[in-house]
Amino acid sequence: MTKLRFREMKESDNVAVAALVRDNLKKFNLDIPGTVYFDEGLDHLSDYYGNDERRYYVIEDEIGEVIGGIGYDRFEPMKDTAELQKLYLTDSAKGSGLGYEMIDFIEDKMREAGYKASYLETHNNLQAAIHIYEKKGYKEIVRPKEVVHSTMNRFFMKNL
């Protein structure tokens, strides 16, 4: 495996991260209303993340290209819970085990921030992601009533 670097997202990453998210959603027929694809803030995520409650990290390859991203935010409806958000990889980075590494990384960051549990929402179309989540110990739960992205139809939790 080549040398990869996790680092906190910067303003200069906004375009690359928005493209990464949209490309992935489009490939899985999720470029539809009710997904992050149409979120107003997607083009300037660095404005949203980067405080004590929420962070977003990008993964760079050896030449400094952004090949992935993952973040978390406080999940208000549940005590001491962070929502794992926007785990995306370029096609070239998929299948390398990097998704597992990214989850380990973000769960460590959640623990450092004081969270006791991780919540996530996904979609049936994202079978590879669901497989990774289940292998990492996430258990499916009933849809919380506070869910924002109405198209998401699978919900998972894990104690940290």
Name the domain count of the chain: 1
Domain extent for 58: 5-159
Cα R_g (the chain), whole angstroms? 15
Tell me the per-residue pLDDT of 2-13, one tens digit each, with 9 for 90 and over: 578 999 999 999
Tell me the per-residue pLDDT of 103-131, one tens digit each, with 9 for 90 and over: 999 999 999 999 999 999 999 999 989 99
For 54-81, letters b (16+ CB in 10 Å) and e give: bbbbbbbbeeeebbbbbbbbbbeebeeb
Residue 132 has what DSSP assignment?
Answer: H
Tell me the per-residue pLDDT of 54-104, one tens digit each, with 9 for 90 and over: 999 999 998 999 999 999 999 999 999 999 999 999 999 998 899 999 999
- Give the CATH number for residue 34: 3.40.630.30
